[in-house]
Structure 1
Amino acid sequence: MDSAVARERALDAAEELFYARGIQAVGMDAVRAASGVSLKRLYQLFPAKEALVEAYLLRRDVRWRQRLADRVDRHQDPRERILAVYDRLHEWFSEPGFHGCAWINSFGELGATSPRVAELARAHKQAVRDYLRTLVSDAGLPADTADPLHLLAEGAMTTAAIFGSPEPALQAKKAAARLLDAAR
């Protein structure tokens, strides 16, 4: 197995395990077993577990934000583009195996002891906030509208994970619509 294939297998296994069970609960042996990548190769690719966690979060960030953009890009109307963020959240919260936000979870587990995990969590959240700021700007709305929209999304993520329901996305969408109407 070449390095690229081994890396993808390891990351696939790590993502599934870390997201479902938590980072601290999953050892490198579990990643080895789930991926079929030998422990020696795994450590050649990722010299420490933190390197694997970093790669997992970076790859997930790209995928997560692309799915969000794909959902938003189905719409032309600037208001609908903003509200599509919450539609994407609803889709995500409805997926089997939804366990909340990987960055919130990672930060909760390791943010106090891993500056790199904390940095990655902040970078992801900032990128999402910046994306909302762009959508708000494109809609011709006041710039300060983006931060409460971001908080609605973040609150929906946490609430959906805790209660195991996609409903918070719909509630956040209603609140976002009201916020957009008030901002006009």
Structure 2
Amino acid sequence: MAHPQGKTAKPARDRILETASRLFYQEGLRATGIDRIIAESGVAKMSFYRHFPSKTDLIVAFLNARHQRWMSWFKGEVDRRIDSEGRLDVIAEVLEEWFQQPDFRGCAFINTVAESGSSSSREREIAVQHKAELADYLETVARKLGLPEPAAMAEDMMVIIEGTIVRRQMTGDRRVTWACHRLIQAISRPYT
């Protein structure tokens, strides 16, 4: 296939992963079939299986890439705002920024656990690890702000953040973010 002005196409693996990432996030892991990913990424079936021997391998690659990208973005935004404003509830503002993205469909990791049910799987393990890393980061933020009991604060924040994400996905209502602000402010008071 020729490319205009001598531009080269992205490598097949990248095209597959980009296509799968979009479809898995928007339509779900189980609802997205391999044939559709192959067709939309423009690769041959043999090329697909050379890079990803199974759908599970592709899902794992998607989740790992999503984890890296989302955590990098989230930490960067929260750190920047905390450095300038010094308030824990800036987390609600960062979440709202994410919710405003046109492709927002909740948390890929919450969605993964919901799809996998109670069974143990590589996908579920990655989702659990993602949430553990998020909790560790929140504990670091609590320490940075000088809040006592940073581990307890991180656990409280995880419940608030997870609930906010799920409620926003379900309702699309911006008032969910306002509730997130209020809850973060409320739990911050006893610690300050």
TM, length-normalised to structure 1: 0.91
Q: For residue 110 of structure 2, what is the amino acid of its counterpart? A: I
Give the deviation of 1:85 after TM superposition: 2.0
Aligned counterpart for 2:183 among listed residues 157, 175, 178 = 175
* Matching residue of 1:94: 100
Q: How much identity, in percent, do the aligned residues show?
A: 33
Contact 1:129–1:150 under 8 Å retained in 2: yes
Contact 1:78–1:135 under 8 Å retained in 2: no
Give the deviation of 1:30 after TM superposition: 0.8
Say yes or no: does 1:30 pair with 2:36.
yes
* Matching residue of 2:4: none
Aligned counterpart for 2:80 among listed residues 74, 77, 85 = 74
Aligned counterpart for 2:161 among listed residues 141, 153, 162 = 153
Give the deviation of 1:129 after TM superposition: 0.6
* Matching residue of 1:11: 17
Give the deviation of 1:78 after TM superposition: 7.2
Rounded to whole Å, the distance in 2 between the matches of 1:166 and 1:53 is 31
Give the deviation of 1:79 after TM superposition: 3.6
Q: For residue 115 of structure 1, what is the amino acid of its counterpart? A: S
* Matching residue of 2:5: none
Rounded to whole Å, the distance in 2 between the matches of 1:93 and 1:166 is 9
Rounded to whole Å, the distance in 2 between the matches of 1:90 and 1:110 is 27
Contact 1:78–1:139 under 8 Å retained in 2: no
Give the deviation of 1:183 after TM superposition: 1.1
Rounded to whole Å, the distance in 2 between the matches of 1:170 and 1:77 is 21
TM superposition outliers: structure 1 runs of 4+ over 3 Å: 111-114
Give the deviation of 1:97 after TM superposition: 2.1
Give the deviation of 1:59 after TM superposition: 0.1
TM, length-normalised to structure 2: 0.88
Q: For residue 176 of structure 1, what is the amino acid of its counterpart? A: I
Rounded to whole Å, the distance in 1 between the matches of 2:133 and 2:67 is 9
Please say which structure displays the higher CA radius of gyration. Answer: 2
Q: For residue 61 of structure 2, what is the amino acid of its counterpart? A: A
Structure 1 residue runs without a partner (length 5+) = none
